Structure formats: structure tokens, C-alpha cells
Structure 1
Amino acid sequence: MSGTGQQARHAPSAADIEALARDAMERLPEGFRIHLSGVLLIVDDFAEEVILDEMGIEDPFDLTGLYSGRPVGQPAATGDMPATIHLYRRPLLDEWVETGVSLEALVTHVLIHEVGHHFGLSDADMHALEDEVREVERG
């Protein structure tokens, strides 16, 4: 991502975003991490059109992440797909450039929000979890 004027500069790849998200997951408190072992993490450029339509979102850049699955504690039903956290690379990169927030902080924020849905957390609980992760980062 860095370089001089002579070097080509490339946007972070899906693998780069996934690595940032996995690092953020490792910084979550143990009580959360143990319940995430079966949750899939998928990074795509954009959400599928059908998802955007279902959510009433017209601009694919408006969706940076999505949790799909049953929250922890809800009984599974036959035919349930595995719980999945989707991160959407292009909207994340757009927000990164527009806000000036570090990409690591942005990916962590979106990941924690989606993890919060997995646990059925309120927005206040998600903010508290994000604060806890920041404390781990500071050491």
C-alpha cells in the first residue's frame, strides 16, 4: 500500500481486508472468540444484487458489512446455512478514502458490528465491545 512515485500503488485486496478482519477477531475477548469458530468470514467486492434489493439498498457502496445467520442462543433449524460475516471490499475502501480513518480501524469497526449481530447485541453493547478491542490494541 505504500511506495514512491516510481512504484505502482494498488488498492488493498480481499485477502488484505480478510487479514485485517482476522486480526481484529483475535483481539476480541475470549468469551466472544470461542463462539465465532464456526462463523464464516467472506470478503467480496460488493453485496449481491439480491441482498441489496432485499435490504432496500440502491447504492452498493452503502453496505460495508452484513451478518447472516441465527444469533447465538437461538435454536438452529434444519437447512440453516452457516453463520456468515460478509465484508464488502469496495465500499470499505471508499469509506476509508472518504473518512481518512485507518483501514484497520474501519475494518475492525464493521467486523465488531457484524459480530454484535451474531451475539444479538445492542448498539451500546457493540460500542462497549469496540472500546474493549481498542484497549487490547493499546496493550
Structure 2
Amino acid sequence: MSPVRMSEEDFERAVQDALDRIPPDLLDAMDNVVVLVQDEPEQQTQEDEQDGSALLGLYLGVPLTERDGGWSGMLPDRILIFKGPLERCCEDREELVEQVAVTVIHEVAHHFGIDDERLHELGWG
């Protein structure tokens, strides 16, 4: 399968469109978090992609459910969306746009303290 290619601008638009799918009250509840596009994860190996465990996104931070009063004044949490692995795991543009949305929502859910097991139960795994 050859990768689906998308310009950086189009990919960032797909990420923004995914964020726009999140209900406004949840977006308003997000606190001190930034969503970034990165070409590749720093620790990804070719074997990871071959066995189907490509890292498509990553949440780096302290979930809202674990923050206490001493948390204020910290650097923002980061949600990283990895363009290369997403392009390589999809067969066409439509699938890529949908997988970007799933990945963004999955990582935002981690910001709210929802773990992978629960996300899989909800169909966002």
C-alpha cells in the first residue's frame, strides 16, 4: 500500500476540522493544552508500523482528572498528531481525514482522563 500524501496545510486543516467535531462545551473545558502536528514520532520504529502499532498521536501532559491546586502556572499539555504514520496507514484521502479525526479525539480524551481501555469500549481506540 502506498501512502496517502497530504500537504501540510491540508493536514493541519484536517486536524482543525477534527477539533471542530468536538462539542463546544468540551472544547471550552480543555485547559492549557496545545495540539501540534509533527511529521514523525521521535521513538517510532519500522517494526512498530509493520506489526500495526504505529504511533498516530500522543498526549503529553497531566489529565484534567489528575490536576490539583498546585498545577497552575505549568507549561501547556501537548497533543501531538503524527502526519507520516497517519498517511502511511490509510488507503485514500477520505480514510486519512477520518483517521486524523479519530486520532485527535482519542488524544483529547486522554486530556480528560479517559484511558485507552475505555476509548476502545467507546469505539475510539
Q: Which amino acid aligns with 1:30?
A: P
Structure 2 residue corresponding to 1:106, chosen from 99, 104, 112: 99
> Which structure has the larger Rg?
1
Structure 1 residue corresponding to 2:35, chosen from 38, 41, 44: 41
TM-aligned CA distance change 1:111 to 1:127, over 3 Å: farther
Distance 1:116 1:126 in 2: 12
TM-score by length of 1: 0.66
Aligned residue number for residue 45 of structure 2: 58
Q: Which amino acid aligns with 1:28?
A: I
Q: Which amino acid aligns with 2:28?
A: I
Structure 2 residue runs without a partner (length 5+): none
TM-aligned CA distance change 1:102 to 1:21, over 3 Å: same
Cα displacement string for residues 17-60 of structure 1 (whole angstroms, at most 9, x for unaligned residues):
22111111111122311123642111111012xxx2xxxx5337
Q: Percent identity?
A: 28
Matched residue count: 113
TM-aligned CA distance change 1:35 to 1:18, over 3 Å: farther
Aligned residue number for residue 69 of structure 1: 61
Q: Which amino acid aligns with 2:41?
A: A
Cα displacement string for residues 49-104 of structure 1 (whole angstroms, at most 9, x for unaligned residues):
xxx2xxxx53375211001111114135477431111011110000113x886111
Structure 1 residue runs without a partner (length 5+): 1-9, 131-139
Distance 1:115 1:69 in 2: 11
Query: In the TM superposition, what is the alpha-carbon distance from 1:11 to its structure 2 partner?
Result: 1.9
Per chain length, whose mean CA-contact separation is higher, i.e. which structure has more relative contact order (CA < 8 Å, sep 6+)? 2
Distance 1:16 1:91 in 2: 16
TM-aligned CA distance change 1:22 to 1:127, over 3 Å: farther
Distance 1:29 1:129 in 2: 17
Q: Which amino acid aligns with 2:88?
A: D
Aligned residue number for residue 121 of structure 1: 114
CA RMSD of aligned residues (A): 2.9
Q: Could you tell me whether the CA contact under 8 Å between 1:63 and 1:88 is conserved in 2?
A: yes
